[in-house]
Amino acid sequence: MSVGFFVIYTRVTDKKELLKGFDIVPIGSTQNKKISDIIAMPDILDGELYIHKNPVFSFKYPEGFKVVSTQNSAAKRGEIIVVEESEKKSFQVLITPFDEPNPITKARILRDVPDMLITEESNIIMVGGIKAFGFKSEDEAVGETYEIWFVAGGNLFQISAPFSFKESLMNILVTWTFQTQ
């Protein structure tokens, strides 16, 4: 038996058109704003396409960045995908098997990692159509980070980037899609 998929690519010339019609309510605000009015879409749509085979997902990343995927030797299961141009312009995706349902919550994270710093929480992030939990944290090696965690297809996805790369990361995640098998 063979499994395959194909990608249909359409170039969008008006990047705000991609997000037309999406509304959000910023935390602490009661005024609706169009997401296309507050997110400045970079030239991500002109970048490179990363396609992951199992689980099948894809996202666009800026030209000049490199992608490296390795097995998670620390946990002896799962995978780490690093996308970087430099130390401050980078993010990583840690994928590990996980048998609990989405959504991930602060309480659930603190159950496993009680000392983890979690501030500036957001429950309104969507990654590939899946609700994700975003928050600011800290890492000894990187300093301040922005984290986005969610569960999809029996896996926990932990996306982490230097906090200074948060806006770019959010623009990359707008392009993330999951492929059903």
**Residue 127 host element (H or E):** strand 119-127
CA angle 104, 175, 51 (to 5 degrees): 90
pTM of the entire predicted model: 0.73
User: Which CATH superfamily groups domain 15-178?
Assistant: Mog1/PsbP, alpha/beta/alpha sandwich (3.40.1000.10)
29 band by pLDDT with thresholds 50, 70 and 90: very low
Distance (Å, whole) CA 173 – CA 157: 13
- pLDDT tens, position by position, 118-137: 999 998 889 999 999 999 99
* pLDDT of 34 strictly over 70: no
